[in-house]
């Protein structure tokens, strides 16, 4: 047994060297038109060797390590705790929720412009993740082209403004509905496909939308994108220094305060907050309605659900359409926040980030998804020196989550009723 372990450990160490040294240790550098090879610095080489040694030792003593891991006491102090009483828990939930919302409403007035801007981006991702959560988490349909619906929302607003001068508030429902229509159109034929085929088809669809946006230059401006997208107005009030649109008034003139660029940022943040709350509440209601229950039923056991009379197509289609609707919502806000959109913003990686948020948060769990969106968008900003490792860590986190905690950091709590103890 020991000899076999040693052989296996040696093999693993050699594989580690083979897969890391050529890529990490030898760098291709372009010098003029020629490409030359440069060895990496000593630190890199040493860390490659250390990694190989670590793999060797781990594999050699794997049985011992795994054995002692199993014997370790459970560190989670809440593991054996009695579940809270339902009424108490509900009250606690409400209090926490109200505090959070009030905090989120007041907070932007005291911090810098940059952080409010970032918070708006987080809210956009929360909307996206909540929408994808319906499709992936609740209905169990892996959608890898979700970003296409986001793009539809953003481009709807940009194009409607460019050609018909339509404002944010009119474009918002239109963008969302058009995205939902796209979802319906794509969903109708593809939803009878099996899970992993569906994933690839949606991925292909996302790429097709992006390529079309890139190449239909006469309509979308191609890779140059569309600029000059206006900020939202609030009851006909604009936030610029001067009135752009006939018939509008200026925010700082109406309230008789001095002009500040911050007003616009804060109002945009508050609009995004309201829309994100709207998304969360609507989806929460959906999960308690029969249609939401049938999403979960179909995810858990398709055959059983169908034999109980659920229509597979309409249930899946509803999840797909609702998910797409909220992506369109987020897209419109995104276009308004950036003022400029181009196909660059809607690549597959974006879909992967949204999917990572849903997976990390716990598929189906709203609170988990919201916290994960906050973490995924803000952490790279805090640790800027690590920002180039962001995607690397994303990928790693996705793999590790699937291995150790496929249900996510905050798994979904099923609706249930506890039986009262008999006296």
Positions in the binding site for other proteins (CB under 8 A): 15-16, 18-19, 22-24, 26-28, 30, 33, 35-37, 136, 140, 142, 144, 189-190, 193-197, 199-201, 203-205, 207-208, 211-212, 214-215, 303, 348-349, 352, 355-356, 359, 388-389, 391-392, 394-399, 401-403, 406
Rank residues 166 and 347 by Cβ distance to other proteins and give the closer one: 347
Element spanning 30, H or E: strand 26-31
Instruction: Report how far residue 363's alpha carbon sits from residue 273's, in angstroms, rounded to the nearest whole number.
Output: 22
Q: Is 396 helix (H, G, I), strand (E, B) or coil?
A: helix
Rank residues 30 and 382 by Cβ distance to other proteins and give the closer one: 30
Rank residues 120 and 351 by Cβ distance to other proteins and give the closer one: 351
CB 356 to other proteins: min, Å: 8
CB 197 to other proteins: min, Å: 5
CB 6 to other proteins: min, Å: 18
HSE of 96, CA atoms in CB hemisphere, 13 A: 7
Torsional sign, CA 288, 293, 294, 298:
positive
Rank residues 27 and 86 by Cβ distance to other proteins and give the closer one: 27
CB 330 to other proteins: min, Å: 21
Rank residues 329 and 394 by Cβ distance to other proteins and give the closer one: 394
CB 153 to other proteins: min, Å: 21
Rank residues 95 and 216 by Cβ distance to other proteins and give the closer one: 216
CA-based nearest residue to 160, from 98, 219, 223: 219
C-alpha distances in Å from residue 345, one per residue of 90, 208, 304, 308, 341: 40, 15, 41, 43, 7
Rank residues 276 and 358 by Cβ distance to other proteins and give the closer one: 358
The b-or-e profile of 252-268 (16+ CB within 10 A means b, else e) is beeeeeeeeeebbbbbb
The b-or-e profile of 380-405 (16+ CB within 10 A means b, else e) is beeeeeeeeeeeeebeeeeeebeeee
CB 378 to other proteins: min, Å: 20
CB 423 to other proteins: min, Å: 42
What DSSP string describes 287-356? HHSHHHHHHHHHHH-HHHHHHTT--HHHHHHHHHHHHHHHHHHHHHHHHHHHS-B-GGGGSHHHHHHHHH
End-to-end CA distance of the chain: 58
Rank residues 28 and 417 by Cβ distance to other proteins and give the closer one: 28
CB 111 to other proteins: min, Å: 31
């Amino acid at each position: 047994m020991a000899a076999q372990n040693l052989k296996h450990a040696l093999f693993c160490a050699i594989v580690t060297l083979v897969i890391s040294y050529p890529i990490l240790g030898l760098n291709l550098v372009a010098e003029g038109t020629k490409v030359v090879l440069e060895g990496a610095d000593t630190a890199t080489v040493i860390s490659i060797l250390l990694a190989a040694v670590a793999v060797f030792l781990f594999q050699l003593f794997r049985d011992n390590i795994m054995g002692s891991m199993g014997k370790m006491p459970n560190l989670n102090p809440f593991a054996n705790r009695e579940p809270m009483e339902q009424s108490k828990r509900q009250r606690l939930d409400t209090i926490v929720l109200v505090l959070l919302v009030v905090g989120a409403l007041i907070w932007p007035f005291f911090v810098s412009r940059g952080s409010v801007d970032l918070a708006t981006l987080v809210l956009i991702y929360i909307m996206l993740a909540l929408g994808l959560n319906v499709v992936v988490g609740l209905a169990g349909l892996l959608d890898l082209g979700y970003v296409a619906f986001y793009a539809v929302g953003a481009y709807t607003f940009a194009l409607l403004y460019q050609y018909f001068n339509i404002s944010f508030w009119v474009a918002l429902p239109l963008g969302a509905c058009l995205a939902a229509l796209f979802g319906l159109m794509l969903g109708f034929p593809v939803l009878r496909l099996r899970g992993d085929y569906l994933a690839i088809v949606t991925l292909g669809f996302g790429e097709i939308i992006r390529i079309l946006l890139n190449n239909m230059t006469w309509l979308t401006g191609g890779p140059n994108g569309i600029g000059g997208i206006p900020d939202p107005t609030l009851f006909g009030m604009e936030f610029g220094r001067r009135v752009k649109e006939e018939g509008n008034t200026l925010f700082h003139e109406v309230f008789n305060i001095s002009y500040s660029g911050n007003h616009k940022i804060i109002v945009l943040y508050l609009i995004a907050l309201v829309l994100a709350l709207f998304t969360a509440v609507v989806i929460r209601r959906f999960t308690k309605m029969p249609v939401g229950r049938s999403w979960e039923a179909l995810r858990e056991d398709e055959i059983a659900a169908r034999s109980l009379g659920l229509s597979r197509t309409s249930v899946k289609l509803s999840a797909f359409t609702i998910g797409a609707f909220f992506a369109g919502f987020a897209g419109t806000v995104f276009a308004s926040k950036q003022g400029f959109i181009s196909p660059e913003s809607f690549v597959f990686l974006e879909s992967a980030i949204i999917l990572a948020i849903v997976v990390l948060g716990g598929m189906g769990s709203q609170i988990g998804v919201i916290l994960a969106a906050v973490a995924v968008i803000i952490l790279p900003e805090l640790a800027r020196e690590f920002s180039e490792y962001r995607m690397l860590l994303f990928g790693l986190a996705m793999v590790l989550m699937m291995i150790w905690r496929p249900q996510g950091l905050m798994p979904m709590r099923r609706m249930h009723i506890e039986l009262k103890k008999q006296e």
